[in-house]
Amino acid sequence: MARTLPAFCPVCNTRADSTVCPRCKTDLLDYLSVFYAPDMLWNKAAAAYGNKDYRDAYDKLAEAHYLRPTDNEILRQMVICAEKYGGIERAIRCLEKLKTGDDSPEVAAEYERLYAIYNNLLKEHREQAETKPRSAVNTSKKKKKKR
Ligand SMILES: [Zn+2]
């Protein structure tokens, strides 16, 4: 998805579409690199998604989200990637963030859907734990004694 965003010179606020401000001649290369970093990360995430590397796609999107936290489209894609690689709790956390800026019924419905999946996973996990012998269940959670 290509997005064109207006870039404005941070010195004189003139609209700039090249790496040098047309008005005050400030070199904008570093500024534009930072400005467009989320878009570059977005494109890398799209490539990773195309390769079915959803975990990598999620990581790239998380970086983009950090740089542009108000872009809800990034968060929406983070939810999709997190669910695809099995990070259901992470997907829910992303949806919780998304809900604060987007009160649409679609987001609410998606939240309900993922939460239901999450609850089913928890239930399955509990049932599995109950059918296994105690010693096998607790080995990973054994606390180390402090000395
Ligand atoms: Zn300028």
- Using pLDDT thresholds of 50, 70 and 90, give the confidence band for residue 65: very high
Which CATH architecture describes the domain 29-129? Alpha Horseshoe (1.25)
| Whether the predicted pLDDT of 50 surpasses 90 | yes
Does the structure show a pLDDT above 60 at 46? yes
How far does the centroid of ligand 1 lie from the alpha carbon of residue 10, in Å?
7
Give residue 4 CA to ligand 1 midpoint distance, Å: 20
Rounded distance from Cα 7 to ligand 1 centre (Å)? 11
CA 88 – CA 53 distance, rounded (Å) = 16
Half-sphere exposure of 31 (CA within 13 A, CB side): 16
Ranking 25-29, 107-111, 114-118, 134-138 by mean pLDDT, the lowest is 134-138
Q: Which residues surround ligand 1, an ion (CB under 5 A)?
A: 9, 11-12, 14, 21, 23-24, 26
> Residue 86: left if φ>0, alpha if ψ -120 to 50, beta else—which one?
left
64: pLDDT strictly greater than 90? yes
- Give distance in angstroms: CA of 20 to centre of ligand 1: 8
Distance in angstroms between the alpha carbons of the first and the last residue of the chain: 56
Does 9 score more than 50 pLDDT?
yes
Rg for the chain, CA atoms, rounded: 22
The pLDDT of residue 3 is above 60: no
The pLDDT assigned to 6 comes to 58
Q: If you measure from the C-alpha of residue 37 to the centroid of ligand 1, how many angstroms do you get, rounded to a whole number?
A: 20
Across 47-56, 70-79, 109-118, 132-141, least confident range: 132-141
Eight-class DSSP state of 27: B
Residue 136 pLDDT greater than 70, yes or no: no
- Ligand 1: centre distance to CA 5 (Å): 17
Share of the chain above pLDDT 90, in %: 61
Helix then strand count (H, E) for the chain reads 6, 0
pLDDT of 72-129, one tens digit each?
999 999 999 999 999 999 999 999 999 888 889 999 999 999 999 999 988 998 988 8
Residue 15, phi then psi, degrees to nearest 5: -65, 130
The rounded Å distance from CA 74 to ligand 1 centre is 29
Q: Structure pTM? A: 0.72
